[in-house]
Chains A and B, each alone.
Chain A
Amino acid sequence: MEPLIFQLGKKGRTAGAHLLEGVGEMELPNNALRDKLPLLPEVSELDVVRHYTRLSQKNFSIDTHFYPLGSCTMKYNPRACNTFAMLAGFRDRHPLAPEMVSQGFMKCMFELQEMLKAVTGMSAVSLTPMAGAQGELAGVTMIRAYHLDHGDDTRTEIIVPDAAHGTNPATAKMCGCSVRELPTQPDGDVDLVALEALVGPKTAGIMLTNPSTLGVFERNIKAIQEIVHGAGGLLYYDGANLNAILGKVLPGDMGFDVIHINLHKTFSTPHGGGGPGSGAVGVGDTLKPYLPVPFIARQGSNYVWEDSSVHSKSIGRLSAFMGNAGVLLRAYVYMRLLGESGMSRVANYATLNANYLMEKLKSVGFDLAFPSRRASHEFVLTLKRQAKESGVTAMDFSKALLDEGFHAPTAYFPLLIPECLLIEPTETESKETLDQFIAAMAKILEETQRDPQAIKDAPVSTPVRRLDEVRAARQLNVRYSYQDHEGLGEIEDPRSL
C-alpha cells in the first residue's frame, strides 16, 4: 500500500529547489494573515516524484490497457497532440493577450471552428463550453433563449429518451426546464406514438443521442424531427456518440438545431482521469444569434475576438476566458493529422470493430440486447440469463475482466437494460486486441458455469479488492487528518520559516 503523501513527510523537510528566500517585512494587516501554515506535505522532491509515479502505476489507462468503455470513446490519444499544445508560445499565452500577439493561436482556433462546422453540418460553432455537460447547458440555454426571444415563455419542457445520459435530464433541470421522459421500443428506436403524445405548446425541445446509447442508429430520426419541429420545439444533438457517424452523416442534415461535440471522445483529447473535456457547440441558423461568447472571426487576414458587444443576443459567457483552450489545441492537432480522408475512416473502423466484437461475443454465447440490429460504434450485451442461472452479475463480470487485464465496459447503463454491458472498442484497436478480449470474455463466461464464486470474488490482481462503498458513504472520510500522526502538523509560527 502506498502511504498518503502527507504520511511520507517529516517536519522541516522541503523540496529545496522550490523554496524561495525570505522577503523581510510586508505591510499587510495582521488580521488578514494566516496564523498557521496550511497542512501541505513536508517532503523532498524525490518523495514527490516517487509517490506520484507509484500511484500512477495503480491506474488502468488507454496507454496501458484496452478500455472498451461504452459511450466514452476511449481511443488512443496521440502524443503529438500534447507536445504541440505545450509549445511555449501556446503554453504561456495569457488568455487576455492582445490580438496582435495571438494570431498563431487564433488561427488554429478559427480553423478548428471551421472544421467542426464541416463535420457537423452546422452553420456556426462556439468552442467555449468546457465539457459535454456544459455544452448541453449551452444548448438548452440557447433553446430557452430562442423561445423567449420569440415571445414564448411557456416552452419549458425538454423531452429526453429513457436511455439518455444522466447529464441530459440534469441539464434540462439546470436550465429551469422540466423533463418529459420518452420511452424506447423493444427494437431500440424511440416510441413515436409516445412522442406524438408528449409534444405540445409547452415543448421547448428534445435532446437526442444518435446513434443512441443503446448502440443503434435511430432509424426514425426524420419522423422525430418532423414531430418536434411541427410542435414548435427544437432538436438538440448530444454528440457523445459522434464517433459512430463521423464522416458518414452530418447531424445538421438530420435536422438538428444545436449540437455539442465531446472533443475528448471523438477528437481524442485525453480523459485525464476524469477531465478536462471540451464540449464545443454548433448551431444552425435558427440559434446562431444565441451562441455563447467569445468566438473568433476573420477580418481580412486577421483573426479577432467577438463577444457580447457584437452578439447582443448571446447567452453570455460560460467560462472565465474561452474554455479549455489547451484541449481545443489538442483536438485541432488530431484533426489535422487525420485530415479529410482520415476523418472519414473513423466511423468505418469504429463500426467495423464494434460489429466484429458483437458478432464474435454472440457466437461464444453472450446475449445481445438488440439481436436484430446492427451495432453502431458500440453495442449492449445483457447478462440477465447468467445472473439468473449462476448469480454472476454484470458487476462481477466487469471485475473479472480487470483480472484479465482489460478495463471493464460500461456496466448498468443504459438503465433500461438489465445486467447490461455497453461495449465500445473504438477504431484504434487492432483485431489482435479484440480477439484477446473475446477470449477473455469467453473464459469468464465459461467460469460462471464452473466456478461462479471465483467470478464473484474478482478482482484479485488489482491493488485493492472490491471496496466497501457503504462504509465510504456512511463513515465519510474525504480528507486526511494529521491528528493521529505524530511528528507532523500545523506550523504555529509562519514568521519563523
Chain B
Amino acid sequence: MPFIPHTESDTQAMLRDIGVENIEELFDEIPSEFHCLGLKGIPKALTEFQLARLMRERSAKDQIKLSFMGAGAYEHHIPAAVWEIATRGEYYSAYTPYQAEASQGTLQVIYEYQTMIASLTGLDVSNASLYDGASALAEAILMAVRINRKSRSKRVLIPKTVHPFYVDVVGSITRNQGIKIVQLPYDNETGQVSLSALDAYSHEDITAIVIPQTNVFGVLEEVHTITQWAVDHDVLAIALVNPVALGLLKPPGEWGPDGVAIACGEGQPLGIPLSSGGPYFGFLSCREAFVRQLPGRLVGRTTDLEGTQGFTLTLQAREQHIRRSRATSNICTNQGLMVTAATIYMSLLGPRGLRRVAEHCHVKTRDLVSVMNGIDGVDEVFTGKRFHEAVLRLPVSVEAVLNVLSEWGILGGVPLSSWYPELGEALLVCATETKSDDDLKIYGQALRAAIDQVSEA
C-alpha cells in the first residue's frame, strides 16, 4: 500500500484495541446514504518507476531551446546551492512555525528574509510573504485603504502600464469591499504613465496610487514625480517593483521627497524557477508606522527565558487565527519554501552579485533591441528608458511569427495584441543575464527568417 505502513497484523491489533470488527465500523456515524462505492475516474496506481517514465515523456514535450519571454515571470540563473538546500526535508516538510522552539531554523530564515526585502525596497518592515506579486498588490491596496483615513472614496489609481493580469486579480480580490479601480492611460510615445492624465485627478478624492517600476512594457516610470504628486494630494503611494531591478534601481523608500508608504511585487526573479507560473511569492514591505495594518505573518527577534536570542511569530493579533473576521487578511498559508530559496539566493548573490545580474539584464536587452532594430520593419515602440524588457512592432502578424519561432524551439516573447490592441502587431521581449551574445544573434536571424516566411505565406 503506497505510503501506508500497516501490516495486516498491525491493523487487526489496532482494531481489537479500539473494540471494532473492521475498519468500516469506524465510519458508522456517517449516514449510510452518503457512503460512496469506490472512486470512479481515478486511474490505477502506477509504481514510481512507471510514473517516472510518464513524467519524463511529458516534460520533454515542453522543453524549449531559447526563450525571450518575460511579462512578470523571468528566466534567471539559479545557483545550484539554492534548491539543494531549500529542499532539505527540514525546510521542505516543516509546518508553519507556530511552535517556535521547534522551528528556529525557519523563523531565522524569515527574519533574514525580512531584513533583505526591507533593504531592497528601502522600507522598514517586510512581512513573511504573500502568494504572488498580483495578490500582494491586492493586499497592498486593501492595506492602503485601511491606512488612508483622509480619503473616503476607496478609489485607487492603477496605471494601464501595470500588468493586465495583476489588475484582473486586484479586481477579483477587492471588488466585494467596494474598492474602485481607476485606470490611468499611458503616453503613446514614452510608454510611461501619462502625467497630464494624472494631473486631471488632482482635485478628486483618490485613496491610493500604484506606481510600477518597471512597468509592463519594461519602461522606467517617472517615480519621483508620481510619488511627489501622491504626497501633494494625500494619496497613498504603493510601489510595484521587480526585486532584481532593485539591485540597480533606486528603492521605493527613496522615491519622491521621502519614499512611498508600501512596496510590493513578485519575488520569482530571486531564485524561483519559472515553473508554469508558481509557486512564486509576493513580497510586501511598508513603513514602520503601518506595521499593524500589514497582512500575513511577521517574525520578530526576542529572547528566551534564559536570555538567549530567538525568533517567533509576532503581532499575531493582526491575523485570522486570532482576530477571525476582524483580521487584516484571511491569509494563513503563505509561500514559506519560496522565501527560504529566495533568502539563500540573495545571500549567494550578495549586494554586488545582484547588482551585476541587474546590469547584465539591462545590457542584454539593450543589445537585443539593437539586433532587432537591424531587421527591416522591426521597430521599438516606446522611447522611455527600459530595464530588461522592450516592446517591438513587427511588420507582420506577431502570432504567426511566434508560431514559426516556437516550431524552431524559440519562444520569441509575449504578444501584446490581446492586452493592448491599440499597439498593433506588438511583441514584448525580454533578455536576462542568461542570454549570450550568440543567443541574441540566433534570435535575430530566426526572427528575420520567421518574418520572411510569414510575409511570403
Contact = CB atoms under 8 A, between A and B. Distances in A.
Given A56-B90, A101-B62, A463-B104, A133 B134 contact: no
B332 to A, nearest CB: 5
Given A26-B363, A340-B39, A61 B275 contact: no
Interface string B23-35: 1001111110111
B358 to A, nearest CB: 10
Contact of A101 (B64, B128, B353): B64
Nearest to B84: A49
B314 A271 contact: no
Contacts of B266: 320
Interface string A312-349: 00011111111111110000010111111111111111
- Chain B residues touching A, range: 35 or more
Q: Which of B72, B94, B112 has the most CB of A within 10 A?
A: B94
Contacts of B321: 165-167, 413
A492 to B, nearest CB: 12
B188 interface: no
A419 interface: no
Contact of B333 (A52, A59, A275): A275
Q: Which of A17, A22, A472 has the most CB of B within 10 A?
A: A472
B308 A465 contact: yes
B440 interface: no
A174 B176 contact: yes
A20 B433 contact: yes
Contacts of A469: 302, 312, 314
Given A20-B356, A56-B88, A89-B63, A247 B39 contact: yes
Nearest to B20: A355
Interface string A373-408: 111000000000000000000000011001000011
Given A61-B91, A63-B93, A407-B102, A431 B10 contact: yes
Given A104-B62, A141-B176, A467-B304, A479 B4 contact: no
Contact of B299 (A254, A478, A491): A478
Given A38-B354, A41-B347, A337-B46, A317 B165 contact: yes
B441 interface: no
A464 interface: yes
B161 interface: no
Contact of A6 (B40, B48, B115, B360): B115
Given A119-B42, A468-B303, A476-B315, A14 B350 contact: yes
Interface stretch (A191-199, A217-225, A280-288): A217-225
B72 A320 contact: yes
A478 B298 contact: yes
Interface residues of A, number: 207
Contacts of B131: 130-131, 134, 276, 319, 324
A33 B122 CA distance: 13
A317 B168 contact: yes
Contact of B45 (A31, A72, A337): A337
Nearest to A408: B99
B353 to A, nearest CB: 5
B297 A274 contact: yes
B273 interface: yes
Contacts of B51: 80, 84, 333, 336-337
Nearest to A375: B26
Contacts of B423: none
B112 A480 contact: yes
B302 A59 contact: no
B108 A174 contact: no
A472 B300 contact: yes
B27 A276 contact: no
Contacts of A28: 220, 248, 362, 385
A22 B351 CA distance: 14
B198 interface: no
A272 B94 contact: yes
B95 interface: yes
Contact of A465 (B112, B172, B223, B306): B306
A239 B333 CA distance: 14
Contact of B325 (A47, A121, A141, A172): A172
B71 interface: yes
A121 B320 CA distance: 29
Contacts of B333: 131-133, 264, 271, 274-277
A93 B276 contact: yes
Contacts of A374: 26-29
Nearest to A87: B59
Contact of B38 (A52, A57, A340, A355): A340
A217 B31 CA distance: 10
Contacts of A60: 94, 99, 102-103
B118 A63 contact: no
Given A52-B344, A64-B90, A355-B18, A326 B275 contact: yes
Nearest to A480: B115
A165 to B, nearest CB: 8
The 8 lowest CB-CB distance pairs between A and B, nearest first, are A339-B45, A321-B277, A63-B89, A272-B337, A274-B336, A89-B59, A95-B277, A104-B58
Given A34-B246, A47-B347, 16 more contacts: A27-B366, A38-B354, A43-B350, A59-B103, A62-B93, A69-B95, A77-B92, A82-B87, A97-B411, A245-B30, A248-B36, A273-B109, A321-B276, A351-B27, A407-B95, A463-B310
